[in-house]
Amino acid sequence: LPRPVRKPTMKGFVAVLTFVAFAAVGAKPNAGLKTWSRFSKLPYPGDKAFLYDTFPGDFIWAVGTAAYQVEGAFEKDGKGLSIWDTFTRGGNRMATGDVGSDSYHNIHADIRAIRQLGVTHYRFSLSWSRIFPNGTRGSYNDIGTSYYRTLIRRLKEVRVQPVVTLHHWDLPEQLQQTLGGWSNPEIVGIFEDYADFCFHAFGNDVKFWITIDNPFVVAQYGYGTGVVAPGIKNDPDLPLRVGHNLLKAHAAAWHLYNRRYRPRQHGKVSMALASHWIKPSRTRLESLRECQCSLDHVLGWFAQPLFVDGDYPACMKERLGSRLPSFTQEEREQVRGTADFFALSHGATLSFQLINDSLKFGQLEDLDLRMLLYWVNEEYDKPPIFVMQSGWYVLGNTKTEDPKQMYYLKRFIAETLKSIVVDGVNVIGYTAWSLMDGFEWHREYGIRRGLYYVDFNTPDMKREPKTSATFYRNVIQKNGFPELPENKPAQGVFPCDFAWGVSANSIQVETAPTQFADPNIYLWNISNNGELIKLQGFSSPPLHRATHCADYATVDEIRQVGVNHFHFSLNWSALVPSGDVSHPNTTLLGYYRCFTHQLLLANVTPVVTLWHHTRQRSGLPAPLDTTNRWLNRKTPEAFANYARLCYRELGENVKVWITLNEPNDEMVSYQEGHQMLRAHALAWHVYDREFRRTQGGKVSLALHMDWVEPAFSFSREDVEPAKRVLDFFVGWFAEPIFGSGDYPAGMRSWLRQLNSLELPVFNEEDRKLVKGAYDFFAMSHFSSKLVTHAKEDSYTYTAMLEVQHMIDTTWIMSPRPVVPWGLRKALNWVKQHYSDVPVYVMANGVQEDPARFKDSLRVYYLYSYVNEALKAYSLDGVNLKGYFAYALNDQRDPGFGLYGQVHEEVIVKASLSNYRNIIQHNGFPVQGAAPQQCPASPQPCLGCRVLAKGPVVAFLTLVGSGVLITLGLIIYYMTKRHKEYY
């Protein structure tokens, strides 16, 4: 098919070179085997990132149906019975396709839906028994033929091209009864005659023909397991004979068209082949060969005879032996090359549905359309590929909101786009399945696959577009996913006083004396066991060394990152084990004092959290831990006293305080949260009254704030649930402090609607206490999620809020979704709700395998999230003051660290260097622009603190120092003159 010339790119140039290199070689046996190794070597996670680009200008956008699923009218106007009409009336089956979606009486409604989608092609199948009721030409039914003529004419009127399938599983029952259906070789000639009639009757208006849909399912599950019609089982060799006849029938029809109709109709003919995808369970060549063999037994069974050599794959021959029918040389020539394009089906029909374990050969099934397209491209010598069926499904009780179907559709289309743009595969079209809900074969009406919802309880089978239809229409209108301004990386820098930081949940506390503080003398027994023996009665004179903390290595690690802030948490239960602040752990306090002092000497500002919430332990002193914890009204007062102790003892070094870190956890009750809010406010007011004037610091709390996006941003029904979730998980703590002094109105009204009295009420005193108790807004942000009001999966459905949680299947996962734009949206939410409040991103990081020291995912994550933070600052006007990467090292925060560790050795990961580079440039400066001019960072002035603490003593000290220096200079020069005189 001709293509318009696209603007040349380096990526395109590489694709062209690749194409030329392989085109000359031709198909080789098992050429697709390299697919797995090729994709394992692609850059991660860059290759997994969503690709914003468009499809070729002549790309085919299609939607499809199958006759038995949607037509209905199973006995009307002379139609004969099909094997599905009989099959659905036997065994334990509960439903039939007698009416389906009643498309036979609803051509106008179907055409309207097709026009609304904006597709260029519509794939449908002919009901063989509607045209030939008993399967042969002698039973010709003109009324049935007229139905299809009308459908094709109406399609052409709205400029939609038909893609016609001759046989989509609904064989005339008469042929099954008299011949045994596809198990009888005589059916080859009968099918050829049926195809001849269809080519003659409709061919002038049809340019794409599919002879038979998914022969694997027909053979394996119609004549092997009996899961689908005609429901025959118990003969393990019968599916192989059926497959043999299906191939011969297709080849006969292709040759007929090629000889008699192609010269004047100029159409193309193929057979629609379906496949799953499989990945190796182990990284061994044997596993790869088993994957190849799995695909050979499903897709290669029919594709290799058509596209390669007219014979079955070697793997099938080896494993099935004489059970597999053989082709004569003449038959091979007859079958080989009888496909004008590769018609590929992928999705719910086979994947995780009908592929049983015996065909996986111990490997792992996967849903990767892109890899399957590449495998087909390599295995069958780069044929043009038309994706003939693709999509997923939702449960039968789902109506017009089908988020799962929509996001799977997005995933498959995005993988098709990457296959074209990145992999150089010649994909010419994509068919979303299906146009409307209908009878879903062995699943009956238990699932729905349509882009249009069909109300089966209405007389006219009313059709309504689902959200997946809206999505597909938008993709078609844009011809893919063109890059928008908000998707492009921002260029620019942060302000000069921007706080660049790194966070850690806690630090390793070492309070044991070091070798330099030990005055004892030891004898080293080197001749025996190397033991050190202390000599009694001897001690060494004191060494005059500069003192530092035992954990000085951590300070050095922080300094190497290049940050100017370090955020860590204190341990309340360890600092005040008895709960009585008059008896603190002075050793530990001394350690924290020393550690924060060392940070300042390294030009790093300490940011200290008083209490870090974890689900594993409360972190409260023992007396409070055993008496209702945060439900005890004494706990907030105890926390305020603990905060006072920390301000007093550490405030000289610490100017940024976090009272509570991430208290807004879903496991925290509303009553506990109420007391936590009071505790924070009391601690904030203690600082404000008693310490702010002398210490000049800032205090707030840090909230966990992952972003919540409506699954359908264009649906008000989903926008409201997203707002509700943010109210309940962020506004719960934010609104009382930064807003009204009360819980969010939406939160209260929703609970009132549920007749819940769980949410406490602020009395006037507490409202005044809590409201305005902040100096900045601090958030921890790691990921994003989608919510919808449409219930689909009970495991991820929150009944109390009536929201379904889900993810976009195109997102990078590790294990939480990597969604950089979610940070920008979260920052804008803060701005919209609380105006110009200063904001700090206090923790932002991703979990990655600790063994990956070349942590490419974290490199990508930090670059992308910091860039989104820059957009929020420079484009949206968010008052962003700082960004903290999480976390410092894997030892304390496994999987999140910029430093790794092997035994005792600390390893610098790749992400550390990349983060440091961003910090050194203060963002992402425009290339070629003049460097940002910032004043030099002030060096620590320890004497300045003396001036601040005791101005009188400091003044006298300064004067005395000046007098001594002056006297020294006088004596020096007097002595010098005296020597010169002599």
Question: What local confidence, expressed as pLDDT, does residue 585 receive?
Answer: 95
Inform me whether the pLDDT recorded for 516 exceeds 50.
no
Coil vs helix vs strand at 368: coil
Specify the pLDDT at position 976: 47
Higher pLDDT, 137 or 963: 137
Lowest-pLDDT choice from 30-39, 463-472, 538-547, 857-866? 538-547
In terms of Cα–Cα distance, which of 741, 748, 813 is closest to 784? Answer: 813
Q: What is the mean pLDDT of residues 507-526?
A: 54
How far, in Å, CA of 306 to CA of 376, rounded? Answer: 13
Residues 6+ apart with CB under 8 A from 197: 131, 132, 137, 140
For residue 872, what pLDDT band results from cuts at 50, 70 and 90?
Answer: very high
- The span from the CA of 612 to the CA of 608, in Å, is 10
pLDDT score recorded for residue 941: 56
Tell me the pLDDT band of 704, cut-offs 50, 70 and 90: very high
Render the burial of 701-734: b for 16+ CB within 10 Å, e for the rest. bbbbbbbbbbbbeebeebbbbbbbbbbbbbbbbb
Per-residue pLDDT band at 356 (split at 50, 70, 90)? confident
Q: What is the mean pLDDT of residues 920-937?
A: 91
How much is the pLDDT for 23? 36
* Cα–Cα distance, 826 to 830 (Å, whole number): 7
Report the distance separating Cα 1 and Cα 895, nearest Å. Answer: 49
Q: Which residue has the tokens 């209405």?
A: 458
User: Tens digit of pLDDT for each residue in 746-756?
Assistant: 999 999 999 98
* Lowest mean pLDDT across 92-106, 163-177, 366-380, 540-554: 540-554
Task: Report the helix count and the strand count for the chain, using DSSP H and E.
Answer: 35, 36
Banded model confidence at residue 5, pLDDT cuts 50, 70, 90: very low
Q: Which amino acid is at 909?
A: K
- Class of residue 223 by CB neighbours under 10 A (exposed 0-12, middle 13-18, buried 19+): buried
Name the percent of the chain lying above pLDDT 70: 88
Q: Which whole number is the average pLDDT over 432-446?
A: 96
Q: Is the dihedral of CA 295, 357, 808, 911 positive or negative?
A: negative
pLDDT of residue 91 exceeding 90: no
DSSP-assigned letter for residue 389? E
Query: What's the pLDDT tens digit per position in 97-149?
Result: 999 999 999 999 999 999 999 999 999 999 999 999 999 999 999 999 999 99
pLDDT band at 919 (very low <50, low <70, confident <90, very high): very high
Averaged over 815-821, what is the pLDDT?
Answer: 96
Q: What is the 3-state secondary structure (H, E, C) of 798-844?
A: ECCCCEEEECCCCCEECCCEECCHHHHHHHHHHHHHHCCCCEEEEEE
pLDDT given at position 249: 98
**pLDDT surpasses 80 at 537:** no
Question: Does the structure show a pLDDT above 70 at 824?
Answer: yes
Rounded Cα distance between 325 and 231, Å, is 22
Which pair of tokens denotes residue 601? 């000497």
Q: Does residue 632 carry a pLDDT above 80? A: yes
> Does residue 11 surpass a pLDDT of 50?
no
pLDDT at 945: 47
Find the range with the poorest average confidence among 17-21, 298-302, 780-784, 930-934. 17-21
pLDDT band at 18; cut points 50, 70, 90? very low
State how beta strands 121-125 and 905-908 pair. Answer: unpaired
State the Cα torsion 649-654-659-663 to the nearest 10°: -130
3-state secondary structure at position 343: strand
pLDDT at 980: 37
Average pLDDT in the 633-642 region? 95
pLDDT per residue as tens digits for the range 38-49:
999 999 999 999
Mean pLDDT of 90-98: 91
Between 82 and 974, residue with greater pLDDT:
82
Inform me whether the pLDDT recorded for 730 exceeds 50.
yes
Residue 948 is predicted with a pLDDT of: 45
Distance CA 510, CA 226 (A): 70
Q: Express each pLDDT in 835-871 by its tens digit.
A: 999 999 999 999 999 999 999 999 999 999 999 999 9
pLDDT in tens, 223-244: 999 999 999 999 999 999 999 9
The answer to whether residue 973 scores a pLDDT higher than 70 is: no
Cα-based distances in Å from 933 to 181, 806, 926, 929: 82, 45, 14, 12
- Name the region of 75 (left: φ>0; alpha: ψ -120 to 50; beta: rest): alpha
HSE-CB of 44 using CA atoms within 13 angstroms: 12
Higher-scoring residue by pLDDT: 936, 785: 785
Classified as helix, coil or strand, 62 is strand
